[in-house]
Amino acid sequence: MNKIVTITAGHGAGDPGAVAFSRREADIALDMRNMVNHYLKARGVITCTDGDSKENKVLGQAIKLISGAAIAVEFHCNAFSTATAGGTEALA
């Protein structure tokens, strides 16, 4: 049985997410989604994404893609007003 991995990019569709130094979270999330999608497909993994290489669906539409997936990942990049903040966040 083939398992499906759903990969979505946070924000987009008019919502830039965090913005700093002319970089938008939505654009970074798209880049991350596209790289992971390319890597997985090259290794024979069946993937489902929330858009083509330049866009993504709003959260309500992206959630519908999760049905039937073995795993779902959505990319985000948090921001903070001081450079000393750091860390990783994972929600299950």
Task: Dump pLDDT digits (tens) for 40-79.
Answer: 999 999 999 988 777 777 777 778 888 889 999 988 887 7
Whether 83 is in a domain gets the answer: no
Of 22, 34, 40, 41, nearest to 75 by C-alpha is: 34
Task: Dump pLDDT digits (tens) for 11-33.
Answer: 877 888 888 888 888 899 999 99
One-letter amino acid for residue 14 of the chain:
G
Count of structural domains, the chain:
1
Length of the chain: 92
Which pTM value belongs to this model?
A: 0.83
Whether 20 is in a domain gets the answer: yes
Whether 34 is in a domain gets the answer: yes
Which CATH number belongs to the domain containing residue 17 in this structure?
A: 3.40.630.40
